[in-house]
Amino acid sequence: MRRGRFLHQGRARLLAASALALALACGACDPALDVGSDVLWSARFEGGTFDEWTLVSGGGAEAFPVNAAMTNRIEVSTEQAHHGSHAARLSIDASSAGMQQNALLSRAGELPVAAYYSAWYYVPNRVTVGTFWVIFKFRQRSVETDGATAGELFDLDLVDSPSGGMAVVFYDHRLGRNVPLDVADAVAPIGVWFHVEAFYRNTQDATGRLTYWLDGRQIMDLTGQAMAPNPWIEWDPCNIGETLAPSPAVLFIDDCAVSRTRVGPDGLIAR
């Protein structure tokens, strides 16, 4: 009986030691608990198509005007990518003065009154801007249900910068002019992916707000004023320009998202 008791205690000790070792060994597994997402929509182009844009209501991907030489083009490319292996390549031939060229991705309608809009950009070469070069745009409608009343609202442009990069400027179509940013040295780099994000609360009273970040740094905060005349919103990551050199002017766009919370340069828009 005594021998049996010792055996029992020995087994108990062995069991405890084994369980403890197993627990400590597996305890370092650091399993993940995914509790959900505030990202309302995202596009990463990893499928090699623009389906993430074109298959949603109000979404689109287009380049115009269209000509025989197809100098304005959008395509999914593997030439550059922020994450994964694909990105959108937008190119326009804006060498002719007085002629606006367009290549854009768009989400219109069915967007929340307040949201964060973000995208990654890659400018492979320095571009000399003669008239304007828009990369990030919000549009409006004067009549919410009438597409024919659509018009421009806020643009984020790139212009030549003496520092060597492309300086970011803000154009308010309501005022018909550039509005100075809150910082003086908002410069987008050449040959490096950079992140542009905006918080847009499209209210028709003093609670309206528009805030921009460049690579996580806030560069402008427009508050205390009404925004569009109605809740309709169009957001366009784009390559729209006039009088640009060299031509074509090429821009890569990747990892676009609409989110309820800020994405930032370190954020994840998909798993």
Partner 1 sequence: MHAPGRARREKDLHANALYRGLRAGGKRRSVAPPSPLGLRFGYGPCVPDRVLRSARFFVIAALLGGGAARAATATAAGASEPAGTDRLFVGTSACPAPAAVRAEVETLVPHDRLNARLRAAGAASGSGAPVEIIDLGLPFRIVAAGKAREYRDEARDCAHRARIAAVFVVLVIDPAAMLRAPAATPPPPPPPAPAAPEIVIAAPMPTPPSGGFTRARVRVALGAAVEAGVGADASFAQLGAALRLEVGRGRLVLALGAAALAPIDAAVGGVRVRHARYPGDVSVQARGTVVIGARRVLQPYAELGAALALVQESALELATPQQSTAVELGARGAAGVTLAGSSRLALFLALHAEWVPGPPAISALPRGVVGHTPTLWLGAVTGAVWGWP
Of residues 188 through 217, those in contact with partner 1 by CB under 8 A are none
What's the rounded Cα separation, in Å, for the pair 160 and 123? 13
* Rounded least distance, CB 211 to partner 1, Å: 16
Q: Give CA 105 to chain center in angstroms.
A: 11
Buried b (16+ CB within 10 A) or exposed e, 183-196: eeebbbebeebbbb
* CA contacts within 13 A on the Cβ side of 85: 2
* Piece of the chain touching partner 1 by CB under 8 A; list 37-45, 63-71, 101-109, 132-140: 37-45
Q: Burial level of 57, CB count in 10 A (0-12/13-18/19+)?
A: exposed
Q: How far is the CB of 257 from partner 1 (least distance, A)?
A: 7
Task: Name the helix (H) or strand (E) containing 15.
Answer: helix 2-26
- The distance of closest approach from Cβ of residue 76 to partner 1 in the complex, given in angstroms and rounded to an integer, is 22
Residue 1 touching partner 1 (CB under 8 A):
no
Min. distance of Cβ 271 from partner 1 in angstroms? 7
Question: Minimal distance in Å, beta carbon 266 to partner 1?
Answer: 7
Which phi and psi angles does 19 have, rounded to 5°? -65, -40
CA distance 163 to 152: 30
Q: Which is nearer to partner 1, 34 or 205 (CB)?
A: 34
Closest separation in Å from C-beta 270 to partner 1: 7
228-267 positions binding partner 1, by CB under 8 A: 257, 259-264, 266-267
- DSSP 8-state class, residue 267: -
Cβ closer to partner 1: 84 or 229? 84
Report how many residues bind partner 1 under the rule CB under 8 A.
Answer: 40
* Rounded Cα–Cα distance for residues 246 and 240 (Å): 14
Q: Is 183 in the site for partner 1 (CB under 8 A)?
A: no
Q: Which of 3, 28, 57, 98 binds partner 1 (CB under 8 A)?
A: 28
Q: For residue 21, give the 3-state DSSP assignment.
A: helix
Query: Which residues in this chain contact partner 1 in the complex, by CB under 8 A?
Result: 5, 8-9, 12-13, 15-16, 19-20, 22-24, 26-40, 257, 259-264, 266-271
